[in-house]
Amino acid sequence: MTDSVGTLITRWKDDPRSTFSTWFLWSERLKNFRSIRRGIAEVVRDIEAGTFGNAYRGSSLETVVASIAEQRQIFKGADHAFLWKPKLRIPDIYEHPENQKAFARLLHTCNCCDTEEAILQAINQIDSLAIKGLGPAVANLLYFIHPTLVLPFNTAIVNGYNALTGAKVKLGRWDHYLAMRQGALALNGRYRQMLSNDLGALAGLLFDVGNKRYPVPPLDGDEAAELAWRQDLMRVREESAAQSKAATSASAGDQSHTQIQGCLRDIGLAMGFGVWIAANDRNRAHETGVLGDGCLTALPDHLSTVSGAESVRMIDVIWLDRTTGNVIAAFEVEHTTSIYSGIVRLLDLAYGNELRTCEALFLVAPDGRENDVLQQIRRPAFSKIGELNFRYLPYGELLGQQKAIVRFGSGLKPIFSISKSLSR
């Protein structure tokens, strides 16, 4: 069993189409953690203030769960557990004020604590209330607060865990989830060097196994079954290699994201600005060098110490005055990623005492994503955006006008001319 699981993990990590490659190693994944935590805190504030409402649609909960659901395939459908089912009247956190407050206490406790004991106590407390329809799917929220202590949860992950361990975990029950979490921690500990402290890696493995992308190692130690399993695993690997073109296509979004960052970098440098490239992107290959070539290696002190500085460091591109270090403009490139998270990072910058110098905040996206941008901007959670100069900058205009802007441009006027105001 041990060798079999180790072989499975190795094959899984080598597969360019596994969740390990497409999600866990995805450069945008970690950038979303803080924005999701911030969204969870907003849900708590709304409930405590009595402004959460009695519906999922239009709530701050919908906003943050939608951001999680955009985290590629592994979290697709994460919002289903929170959608209102009128015939069953579940989950019962919309019409029942006390249940709603209990849900807020769970989120608040986990957002503020840093121990396994406190997390388990909060989960056991919510479980004791037996709130109809509010089950382990909440773990998908808690994972983004404590990725080393909370295992993500969905049907495929449960199926994968049952198949790999022979367990019989049932959906919708907190006690079953906690038992699965304990077993998952033990499994993760056994293969820690191959996986990660972040339980997202193990969740991705279980997700792919649960979706039957990989055959399951035999549990009885039968040699013939072991041989057949290894042959099946080799077949999966060969199929993955044959579909490498699709994998290359799937990574095109990351390449386009890098291309746009490079374009904004070059324009900013040509116009004499100091340019900051997101901390996790600066060493990405671009043209004959890396994205960070010619750019700032550290943010000015007044930026690196503001509230939300960690989020600001992850903004895709920032243009700064070379003399004062003040922010002139900031850009979030949203090729296929969560627009919500990009907005939150820009808001962290805007409300970190930079409003006095920042002339505009840009959401840069493919021409066809304008409706996605508008839909996010109109969410109630972003009502304060009307106070700021948020703008939508389409790829087509940026790439088409790059040479002209570099040659004749001065200040932000040419960028304003090819972008659209999003202020409400």
DSSP letters spanning 281-308: TTTSEETTEETTTTS-SS--HHHHTSTT
Q: Given the structure tokens 């110098």, which residue do they identify?
A: 357
Kindly report the backbone phi and psi dihedral angles of residue 2, in degrees, each rounded to the nearest multiple of 5, phi listed first.
-60, -50
pTM for this prediction: 0.75
Same domain, 227 and 183: yes
Q: Which of 249, 270, 296 is the last residue of a domain?
A: 249
Same domain, 148 and 284: no
Digits of tens for pLDDT over the chain (424 positions)?
447 899 999 999 999 889 999 899 987 788 888 888 989 999 999 999 999 989 998 899 998 998 888 777 899 888 999 999 988 899 999 999 999 999 999 999 999 998 999 999 999 999 999 999 999 999 999 999 999 999 999 999 999 999 998 888 889 899 999 999 999 999 999 999 999 999 999 999 999 999 999 888 776 656 665 565 456 556 555 655 554 444 444 444 456 889 999 999 999 999 999 999 999 889 888 888 999 999 999 999 888 877 778 888 889 999 999 999 999 999 999 876 668 778 888 887 877 655 566 888 999 998 888 888 888 887 777 776 767 888 999 999 999 999 999 887 778 999 999 999 887 5
Judge whether 267 and 281 are in contact, CB under 8 Å: no
Same domain, 377 and 407: yes
Same domain, 201 and 349: no
Number of domains in the chain: 2
Alpha-carbon gap, residue 388 to 329, rounded angstroms: 12
Q: Which of 210, 234, 249 is the last residue of a domain?
A: 249
Same domain, 195 and 307: no
Taking the mean position of all CA atoms in its chain, how far away is CA 326? 29
Q: Which of 216, 249, 282 is the last residue of a domain?
A: 249
Same domain, 226 and 350: no
Domain that holds residue 338: 252-421
Same domain, 258 and 367: yes
Sort residue 342 into left (φ over 0), alpha (ψ -120 to 50) or beta. alpha
Same domain, 229 and 318: no
Same domain, 151 and 209: yes
